Structure formats: C-alpha cells, structure tokens
Structure 1
Amino acid sequence: MGRSAHACTLDEWLARLEAAHPVSIDLGLDRVVAVARRMALLDRPLAGGVITVAGTNGKGSTVALLDALARSHGLTTATYTSPHLLRYNERLRLNGREADDATLIAGFEAVETARLDGEPVSLTYFEAGTLGALWVMAQCPPDLAILEVGLGGRLDAVNVIDADVAVITTVAHDHAAYLGDDIEGIGREKAGILRAGRPAVLGSSTLPASVHDAVRERGAVPFALGEQYRRSECGAAGWRWTGMGARGEPLEVDGLPDPGLPLDNAATALQALAQAKGELDAQACRQALGRVTLPGRLQWLGQWCLDVGHNPHAASYVAERLAARPCSGRTWVLLGMLADKDADGVIAGLAPLADAWVTVSLEGERARSAADLAERIVERGGRVAYQAATPVAGGAWLAERLAAEDRVLVCGSFFTVAAILAWKRAGTAPP
C-alpha cells in the first residue's frame, strides 16, 4: 500500500480489506475461528450476555429494538450490524453511539496483527470487520452484546461467538446464490446459531419446519411467537405483550406504543431481553419503544418514504404498511436493485401500491440496470415514467414533478436508499 497498515485512515483500511480476499463472500468458519483464537476472543465471555439475531428480514429492526430496550433498563450495550447506509461506523454502536474512526481502526489493527501471527490467514471484508468489532467489545465488555448475522447463520463469522439467546426473525428467499432456493435448507442455515440449553426466540409464526426441527435436535429452549409469547392490539391504549421470564414465569406489559417498526419484531425483542435479563420493567419498555429509530426502515422524509427492503417478503410488508396509510395523490415507487435479488418478486409485491415507477441503475459488479427493471415492470402491466442512470438522477427527476398530495417509496436496495438519504440530507432536494 505504500504506507504502514498502522498509519491507515479508516477509509484506507476499508479499501485494504475489500481488496484483501479473492471473493467478497466466502462462507465458512475455519479462517475466522483461527484468527479469533489468536486474538483470545474465545477465551472468555464477550459480554455479560450475548444475543445473536439471524433471519431474512427484520434483523436490523430487532437489533435496534433490543438495544433501545436494554439501555432503557440501564444496561450497557454494544451492537454489531451490517450493512451500513452512509458510514461504516454505523455497524458498531457502543451504548447507542456509533464507534469513532480511531476505535474501528484499533480493531482492524488487532485483526491484522493476529492474522499475520504465524501462517497468514486470508479474511473477507466482513470477516475482518466482524472480528474487529468483537475485539472492541472485548476491551470493555458491555452488559449486553447484540450481534446481527450477516448471511445465513451456521457459517457466518458472527457465529464464532456462542449466543446466550438466539433469535430467528423470519425465513424467506434471499441470497439464493449462497443459501439456495430451498426454504427448509435456508431455515437450517439460520438455525445454526442455536446452542444447546439456551433460549431460541422464534420471531415468526410461519418459520419452516427445519427451524423447529433444529431447536429440538440442538436441545435449545424454544420461545415461539404465538405460543410462549404473543402480542395483541389494544386500540388507542397501545398494544400488549405477554411472554415468559428466564425462570418460566409469565410476564405482561401493556400500553406499549407503536415503535414504527414491525410489531412482531418488537414482541420478539421483548421476549429475547426477558430471557437475557430475567425481568422487564413496564415503564422502561414503553419509553424505549416510544423513542427507537432506525434509518432506512419505513423512514419518512416529508413525502418520501425510504425502506431498504429488497426481497418479496419485505416488499409485501412495506406495501401493506403504506396501503394502510391513505394518500390522496399518486404513489410513486423509485426502485433500484442488485442483479442477484428477486426483482420479479419485489415488483409483484409492490405493484398493488404503485401508480407509477421510476427505475434507477446501480453501480458495481452486482448492478442491475434501470432498463432491466423497467422491462419487468412493463411486462406486469405497470407504468414506468422514467429510467435514470443513478438513484439521485431518478430522485431529482421525480422531485420536479411531485405534486403536494403525492408520495414516493424509495426501495429495492441499501444502495438505493443510501444514495437518496445522502442526497436529501445534503439539502439538494426540495423539502
């Protein structure tokens, strides 16, 4: 690189990590375990408790809800999530605050030292980032570490750490190139985070049979939505959660506010925290759910709604939420997707909502063109008003034509949402 690794800025470190391994995704734990052992990450507990969250959709919102709930109960927290929207620093949060550059760099330096200590070990960008984040957590162990699985579960780098509580939010088709199209097989991969004798919080009533089979085979203790814990609507008074404490005692919290995130995920976060902490304080729960935020998940900026949903399951959920929110004008959908995602399924999920579409191209080796998306939409009878070379170009075109009563849904990829979010924050779009 021409400069010492130890003199790198954060951006230089990230560029170095991206170029260090021949492929960006290389599932398997052997390399990660080897370096984790050199870093002594497996010699002692990472935190007072560890909650690991896997699933196809809902991981990020469940982590955000867990973090808010835990901190509202007075716990110190560290969260690790991926991908990020605007800054890599978003991936590691310590007590709710993004890690600064120096903290992240220290983690990368520790990983680099360890992977070169003996026979060099090649790590992917995600693997090095995961180990760096875990090392940072281990330097000042929090009361609760909340870890989001990047892809799958069984072979994901996050799974080098044993979860005290494992959460599986949903299982649906996504990442077919790595997980395949067999929903039962995908479920088995997600269930790889389960540990014997420890709680398995199952956040969907429609999980495949393979997940429930894995709970039994691995000897985990199940807490399933609709069985051991539930949520129920209470009208203007809020909603009610009922579940089980760490000793099996019944728990109930009512008067809960809508957090603006899926209530199934909120109920799941409450059950997971109840298992990790042993008890819940009703007022602390209400306060946490009333203030939690998560950029890029049904995030409203004036007339614009931003959501990173990029598979059919997520698209259907977003369409359902927006359909329940009346709009007297047109609903525009600004869509940009990667080539390895199920574009036809996403379009089908959003089609009942969309009056008109703006398709945008993304960059990179996995990019899908605006023209490809437009062709698929037209084949389904949809109206494509404009095709843009970039998300911002599409947003700028749309902003000039948007009526006061219209709304825009921006979705299809983290990259699409990130571009529009940065553009809006920079003040280059009308309010």
Structure 2
Amino acid sequence: MSATLDDWLARLERQHPVSIDMGLERVAVVAERLGLTQGPIAHRVVTVAGTNGKGSTVAMLERLARAHGSTTASYTSPHLLRYNERLCFDGAAAEDEILIDGFERVETARLAGDPVSLTYFEAGTLAALVAIADVRPQLAILEVGLGGRLDAVNVIDCDVAIITTIARDHADFLGTDLEGIGFEKAGILREGRPAVFGSRQLPASVSRRAELLGVAAYWLGRDFDHAEAGDGEWSWQGRPEADGRYRLDSLPDPGLPLDNAAVALQALSLCGVPPREADSRLAMSTVALAGRLQWLGNWCFDVAHNPHAARYVGSRLARRPRPARRIGLLGVLRDKDAEALIEALAPVVDVWLPVGLPGPRGRSGEELATVVTSQGGKTLSAASSPSAAVDWLVPRLVPGEEVLVCGSFLTVAGALEALQARMNDNA
C-alpha cells in the first residue's frame, strides 16, 4: 500500500534529530542531485524574506501576476489548516499526489550516494521546488521560512529579492541584534539582480550587502510608494528598471497592509510585467489570505504573533465601529513576547480569553492569563486549547460582541477549525 500524504509528513517529522537545523550544505547536496541547480525552475523567481508581511506580499504578488495573465507557483510556510496550502499553482493548493511525488523524489535523491539527513522543512521545500520545476511557470514566488541566508529556500537564485520588514523574532536562531538579523535577511540578495525593500527603515547591514553585490535597490518611500485616497481607495507610484514612472489610481483596499501591496506592484514591474490599472484593481479586490484579518461572522482571525504585526491588526480594528465588547482569544508560544503583543492590542480588546498551546514551545492558558493580568488586562477564563475556548465562548456570546483570535498560527488554526465545524453542524 502506497504512503499517503499524512504518512509522509509523519515520517519527515521523525527523520531529523532537530526540527530546525539552519544551513545550506545538506540541502544543496540534495538539490544538486535533483537537478534543481542546473537550470531555472521558472521564467522568473521572486524570493521574499522579512519578519512580517511575507505572506501578504506573496499573496498579492501572486494575484497580481495572474490578473496580468501570468502562470504562477507559490511556496509559503507554515500552513494554516492543510499542508497543501504551502504549495499553490495558479492560486490553487497542490493536490496530494503532487506533494507525494515530490517527497518520493527527494527521498530517492537524499539516499543516492552518502545519505543526507533533512529536516521536515528542508524536505518539504525541496519537494515543492521539484514540483515547481516540473511546471516551470512564468513566475515562482518563494517565501523564506526563517532568516534568509541559511534558509532552504535560498538554495535557489532569485531574479528579484524582496525584504519586507525587519524586527526581533525567532531570537533563538537569529538573535536580537537588528543588524545581525538584517544580515541574515539580506542573504537572499543576488549579485546584479534587483531587490525591493518594503520598509522605510531597514538595518544598515541590508544596504551594505546590496551595495557590495551591486544590487539595484528599490526602496519604499523613495522609489515607490502608496497614498490613501479616501473612500477605501489608494494610489501607487513606482518605477521600472529603465527610466520612467508608473502610477495607478483608484485601487481598492485589499484588506492587507498597503506597504506590502506597494511592494508587490513594484516587484511585478521588475519581473517584466508593467502593472495595468484595470488588472491591478481586479487583483486588489479579489486577493484573499487565510488567517490575516479573516472575518467569519463576528469573529476575526489573524496570525499576528509579534508586536509589529499586532500593532497593524490593532490599527485596522480601530477603524471599525467599536463593538459592544471585543474579546481577545489569545494563545502565544513561550518564545514569543506575549507582554508586548498584549500591550499592542490592549486599545482594541476589552477582555481576554487566554488559551493553551501544545508542544515544547507551548504555554498553558493559566500561565498566559497571569501575563494578561500583569499587563492590566481582564480575563474571562482560561482554556486548555483554542478549540476548547471556542466551545466555551460560543454559547456565552451576546449580540454586538466581537472576537479577535490571534497570537499564533496554532491559535488561529485550532479556533478556526473548531468554529467552522460548529457552523457546519448547525447548517
């Protein structure tokens, strides 16, 4: 009996002694055996690194490219509900058979000669790259998993690099020094190939690396920018690689950060696709990204798990009419700055429902509740898991109340799955 996708994922989780093992040496050996380094996997490759905004940038660039008539592939991580979400072709999640075929080919290659041990993420990345190379789309968009320089995605040379923002996160692997973090992110830059910098302020280490490699850098606020025009519309201006300027007006609000929307438009132009107003409007009005300000009735789901992302969520919620009460269903891993996250969301959350998360990095709902109270917040209760919190909260909600679910991909995934199951049962 052939292995299922779940069989493969369980196998990959067991086969390497640690879950994160940064470095390209092992990945590069298997990539060479697979032929991934012998030719381009797509007509154009865009690699996206950064602390926040990677997922929304990928989603908007992918949707823009399709609206302009390009075939696309995208690779992102982590997934929310299904592993298949990580690899998409023309906006649709890959079928199990494509992923299984990729895993089988990676397994054969890693055992061809001296065996090479790969982490779950490394094997998954190589399997996705093999599948993309088979299709060779006009545009492949690859999201870095962690850092940049030593991330498995960086085994592929990009045609355009994107760095969104740089802040402190994943301190156990990247440290807390912003210059050092910037150096790691800038590892995706390639000599003589353009880069789009999607923050108005990045560490000097990024600029130094770009100058060293002779990278044509396109900066938010200098080479391209956006401006709100009122009535939920905005405008964008940017520039191509040659002389000249682009300008688009009356773009609809995509419901995602406009900094990242502007980045996506600039990157599209550097991929040889001049942005057209009608196609860009279509893309911005139809782009969707699960778990990013995703509304389901009066429930809002966002995977924000650091202060920078939480402040953006707070700013968006602050624009809405204030509900009778907004409840923050919050689950935060132990290695995240829960205090700063709570502080960022406090202006838009009236009361909290802390929940526990599993695994060695998890923390209990009771432990998180003490953090909430130490920050001056009020708690309704504490739950053992996101799904238990949904079960507890649903019958207690009254008209006019809203729920914000945030703090981790695990929190959003567990609560979203539980709420959807309840809605399906009541349909």
Corresponding residue number in structure 2 for 1:269: 264
For residues 249 and 256 of structure 2, what CA distance do their matches in structure 1 show? Answer: 17
Select the residue among 55, 59, 63 that pairs with 1:60.
Answer: 55
For residues 401 and 135 of structure 2, what CA distance do their matches in structure 1 show? Answer: 49
SS at match of 2:380: strand
Corresponding residue number in structure 2 for 1:14: 9
Corresponding residue number in structure 1 for 2:101: 106
Corresponding residue number in structure 2 for 1:250: 245
Corresponding residue number in structure 2 for 1:303: 298
Select the residue among 146, 150, 154 that pairs with 2:149.
Answer: 154
For residues 430 and 408 of structure 1, what CA distance do their matches in structure 2 show? Answer: 19
- Aligned in 2, Cα 1:324/1:237: closer, same or farther, shift over 3 Å? closer
For residues 238 and 413 of structure 1, what CA distance do their matches in structure 2 show? Answer: 30
For residues 363 and 119 of structure 1, what CA distance do their matches in structure 2 show? Answer: 36
Q: Deviations over 1:341-367 (max 9, x none)?
A: 111111111122221000000111211
Select the residue among 390, 408, 419 that pairs with 2:385.
Answer: 390
1:360–1:387 CA contact under 8 A, matched in 2:
yes
Corresponding residue number in structure 2 for 1:39: 34
Corresponding residue number in structure 2 for 1:317: 312
Letter in 1 for 2:139: L
Corresponding residue number in structure 1 for 2:328: 333
Q: Is 1:366 aligned with 2:361?
A: yes
2:390–2:419 CA contact under 8 A, matched in 1:
no
1:259–1:289 CA contact under 8 A, matched in 2:
yes
Q: Deviations over 1:76-100 (max 9, x none)?
A: 0000000001100000001111100
5+ residue gaps, structure 1, are none
Select the residue among 285, 288, 300 that pairs with 2:280.
Answer: 285
- In the TM superposition, residue 399 of structure 1 has moved relative to its aligned partner by 1.5
Q: Alignment RMSD, CA only?
A: 1.3
- Aligned in 2, Cα 1:248/1:21: closer, same or farther, shift over 3 Å? farther
- In the TM superposition, residue 61 of structure 1 has moved relative to its aligned partner by 0.5
1:359–1:384 CA contact under 8 A, matched in 2:
yes
SS at match of 2:47: strand
Q: Is 1:379 aligned with 2:379?
A: no
1:347–1:377 CA contact under 8 A, matched in 2:
yes
Corresponding residue number in structure 2 for 1:357: 352
Corresponding residue number in structure 1 for 2:337: 342
1:399–1:430 CA contact under 8 A, matched in 2:
no
SS at match of 1:351: helix
Corresponding residue number in structure 2 for 1:420: 415
SS at match of 2:309: helix
Report percent identity of matched pairs: 58
Q: Deviations over 1:371-427 (max 9, x none)?
A: 111111111111011100111111222222222111110000001100111112223
- In the TM superposition, residue 278 of structure 1 has moved relative to its aligned partner by 4.0
For residues 321 and 21 of structure 2, what CA distance do their matches in structure 1 show? Answer: 44
1:247–1:278 CA contact under 8 A, matched in 2:
no
1:245–1:278 CA contact under 8 A, matched in 2:
no
- In the TM superposition, residue 324 of structure 1 has moved relative to its aligned partner by 1.3
2:356–2:384 CA contact under 8 A, matched in 1:
yes
Select the residue among 31, 43, 50 that pairs with 2:45.
Answer: 50
SS at match of 1:245: coil
Provide TM-score, normalisation by structure 1: 0.97
SS at match of 1:385: coil
For residues 138 and 19 of structure 2, what CA distance do their matches in structure 1 show? Answer: 32
Corresponding residue number in structure 1 for 2:82: 87
Provide TM-score, normalisation by structure 2: 0.98
2:327–2:403 CA contact under 8 A, matched in 1:
yes
- Aligned in 2, Cα 1:14/1:237: closer, same or farther, shift over 3 Å? closer
SS at match of 1:239: strand
For residues 392 and 261 of structure 2, what CA distance do their matches in structure 1 show? Answer: 37
Q: Deviations over 1:64-120 (max 9, x none)?
A: 001100000110000000000110000000111110000000000110010000000
For residues 382 and 336 of structure 1, what CA distance do their matches in structure 2 show? Answer: 15
Select the residue among 195, 198, 202 that pairs with 2:197.
Answer: 202
Corresponding residue number in structure 1 for 2:220: 225
Runs of 4+ in 1 over 4 A off after TM superposition: 428-431
Q: Deviations over 1:303-338 (max 9, x none)?
A: 100000101111111111111111231111000011
Q: Deviations over 1:267-302 (max 9, x none)?
A: 000000000124122111110111000010000111
* Number of residue pairs the alignment of both structures matches: 426
SS at match of 2:347: coil
For residues 96 and 375 of structure 2, what CA distance do their matches in structure 1 show? Answer: 46
- In the TM superposition, residue 218 of structure 1 has moved relative to its aligned partner by 2.1
For residues 245 and 283 of structure 2, what CA distance do their matches in structure 1 show? Answer: 21
2:194–2:216 CA contact under 8 A, matched in 1:
yes
Q: Deviations over 1:193-239 (max 9, x none)?
A: 01111111001112222222221122211100000001011113721
For residues 270 and 203 of structure 1, what CA distance do their matches in structure 2 show? Answer: 11
2:232–2:253 CA contact under 8 A, matched in 1:
no
Q: Deviations over 1:154-204 (max 9, x none)?
A: 000000011100001111111010001111111111111011111110011
